[in-house]
Chain A
Amino acid sequence: MASVVLSEAEKVYIVHGIQEDLRVDGRGCEDYRCIEVETDVVSNTSGSARVKLGHTDILVGVKAEMGTPKLENPNEGYLEFFVDCSANATPEFEGRGGEELATEIVNTLYRIFSNESTIDVKSLCINPREHCWVLYVDVLLLECGGNLFDAISIAVKAALFNTRIPKVRVLEDEEGSKEIELSDDPFDCIRLNVDNVPCIITLSKIGCRHVVDATLQEEACSLASLLLSVTSRGTLTCMKKLGNGSLDPESIFEMMEVR
């Protein structure tokens, strides 16, 4: 992940501040930075969103295309995720540098959305076993300022909310072959229900306290982080531990209380 080089004195300063519930930019341990969300930014996509969380800038575009349903789920459409780490974010991402981080993010997103209740994939089916909508969700990291996963999950949720899928009619010929007709009206479309799409909250352990929404400097001082994906109803859908340090179980439960 993109990181900054911090001197020992700076690390000690940050750790001591957090022990007193005071972070470098004046926030408390459980405060988020100001979040800006903008939808419908890219016009030739089916849906898009841009999220700015402090210095972190994420752009997500969703394109809906027709495809064949997967063999194990013939009555459902599906989502495909792709993450591109732009070289603008850090020069380390030039060429193939950002692929490791991109794969990690993609795998986390797949795990979160593998749950059936997240998105109603049955509504994406047009003809069972033959045609369905495939939603290609493309995430573009424009700038890395700490707390990537949270910003990405907010952007994905907003982009899926903004997605407009055209309505289709299936016409049957006399021979039995099916034809798909797209409606001519550009506003005649179905929208997705994103109420159950979870948001990710990353808790980083710094010293003996945990903080929400860590900046790059704070991430450099943290021992380990816990990633939780939570829906609006409070159900926990996914949990993951990141980082080199080890967390003891009590601190994990403590962190879960925070959200």
Chain B
Amino acid sequence: MRGSRSKALHDRALVNCQYSMATFSTGERKRRPHGDRKSSEMTLHLKQTFEAAILTQLYPRSQIDIYVQILQADGGNYCACVNAATLATIDAGIPMRDYVCASSAGFIEDTPLADLNYVEEAAGGPQVALALLPKSDQIALLEMNSRLHEDHLEQVIEAASKACKDVYAVLDQVVRDHVHEVTTLLGE
């Protein structure tokens, strides 16, 4: 038995995440791949997001491990992690309420921007990271830093939701194509 027995929950599964960045992923070489504060914070965010989406009631006293490794970072790290982990969970056959799609958004020069890259994030403007369950429009995680006037908040969230829905379309298509291919191969 691998996980910690003391952390096991009696009525649902425990979601255990680890967020790790390769040392060569950022422009400046990163000394510690995981264990620093930012990685721990991302780990907690991922855990929170997936506990909202995975049907943990079906697996009491068990543990689901989600390990994310960043190979190269160019902005939107958290969002790419969420999208990748969603596909991995589906590939593993773990039942979820809905896909979890994430996108970042910002507000520069009075325009809301979706999916910021590294240069735009480093510019210092407000950034919103949104993880959405697309069909029900429920928000799994919403995070914002820097300052943003509340009148603009709705526009920015709107931009992020739209980007999430676009990502959902892509993920859904990929999953359906894959299932179609596998069933055709098995069907023989």
Give Cα distance in the complex from A51 to B20, angstroms: 20
B65 vs chain A, min Cβ distance (A): 6
Partner-contacting stretch, out of B27-35, B93-101, B124-132, B169-177: B27-35
- Which of the four size classes fits the interface of chain A? 20 to 34
Which positions in A face B, CB cutoff 8 Å? Answer: 42-45, 48, 59, 61-63, 65, 82, 84, 86-88, 91, 94-96, 136, 138, 140, 142
Say yes or no for B18: interface residue by CB 8 A criterion: yes
**Are A136 and B72 touching (Cβ within 8 A)?**
no
B71: chain A residues at CB < 8 Å are 42, 59, 140
Q: Which residues of A contact B25 (CB under 8 A)?
A: 42, 44
Interface status of B69 (Cβ within 8 A of chain A): yes
Pick from A59, A63, A86, A91: contact of B20, CB under 8 Å: A86
Find B67's partner among A42, A43, A86 (CB 8 Å cutoff). Answer: A86
Q: Known contacts being A44-B72, A91-B65, is A84 close to B23, with CB within 8 Å?
A: yes
Is B2 within 8 A of A91, CB to CB? Answer: yes
| Residue numbers in B under 8 Å from A138 (CB-CB) | 22-24, 29
Establish whether residues A84 and B27, one from each chain, have CB atoms under 8 Å apart when the complex forms. Answer: no
| A94/B18 contact (C-beta < 8 A), A43-B72, A65-B29 known | yes
Question: In the complex, are the beta carbons of B23 and A44 less than 8 A apart?
Answer: no
The reply to whether B67 and A82 contact each other, CB–CB distance below 8 Å, is no
Interface size on B, residues (CB 8 A): 20
CA distance A96 to B20 in the complex (A): 12
- Assembled-state Cα–Cα distance A48/B23 (Å): 12
Q: Do residues B69 and A63 form an inter-chain contact, with CB atoms below 8 A?
A: no
Chain A contacts of B29 at CB under 8 A? Answer: 63, 65, 136, 138
Q: For residue A92, which residue of chain B has the nearest CB? A: B2
Count A-B pairs with CB separation below 8 Å. 61
**Most interface-central of A61, A87, A88 (chain B CB within 10 A):** A87
User: Closest chain B residue to A94 by CB distance?
Assistant: B18
Asked if A136 and B23 make an inter-chain contact with CB atoms under 8 angstroms apart, the answer reads yes
Query: What are the residues of chain A within 8 A of B22 when measuring CB–CB?
Result: 42, 59, 61, 84, 138, 140
Can you show 29 pairs from A to B with CB atoms below 8 A apart? A43-B72, A44-B25, A44-B26, A44-B72, A45-B24, A48-B24, A61-B22, A61-B24, A62-B24, A63-B24, A65-B29, A82-B23, A84-B22, A86-B69, A87-B20, A87-B65, A88-B67, A91-B2, A91-B67, A94-B16, A94-B18, A94-B65, A95-B35, A136-B23, A138-B22, A140-B23, A140-B69, A140-B71, A142-B69
Taken together as a complex, chains A and B put the C-alpha atoms of A115 and B18 apart, in Å, by 38
Inter-chain CA distance A202–B120, complex, in Å, is 47
Assembly CA distance A234 to B25 (angstroms)? 36
Q: Which residue of A lies closest to B30 (CB)?
A: A138
Residues of B within 8 A of A42 (CB): 22, 24-25, 71-72
Q: Which residue of B is nearest A91, CB measured?
A: B65
| Cα A84 to Cα B25 with chains together (Å) | 13
Q: Mark B33-50, 1 if CB is under 8 A from A, else 0.
A: 111000000000000000
Are the CB atoms of A87 and B67 closer together than 8 Å? yes
CB distance from A115 to the nearest CB of B (A): 25
| Residue numbers in B under 8 Å from A62 (CB-CB) | 24
Q: How far is the CA of A136 from the CA of B23 in the complex (A)?
A: 10
Give the complex CA separation of A59 and B20 in angstroms.
14
Is B24 in contact with A94, judged by CB distance below 8 angstroms? no
Closest A residue to B69 using CB positions: A86
A84 surroundings in chain B (CB, below 8 A): 20, 22-23, 33
- CA A94 – CA B18 in complex, angstroms? 7
A9→B2 CA distance, assembly (Å): 25
Contact at A94–B67, with CB atoms within 8 Å? Answer: yes
Q: A48 — nearest CB in chain B belongs to which residue?
A: B24
Residues in A with CB closer than 8 Å to B2 are 91
Chain B proximity of A20: nearest CB distance (Å): 34
Having A42-B71, A95-B34, A140-B71, one finds 10 other A-B pairs with CB under 8 Å, namely A42-B24, A42-B72, A59-B71, A61-B24, A65-B29, A87-B65, A88-B69, A94-B18, A140-B69, A142-B69
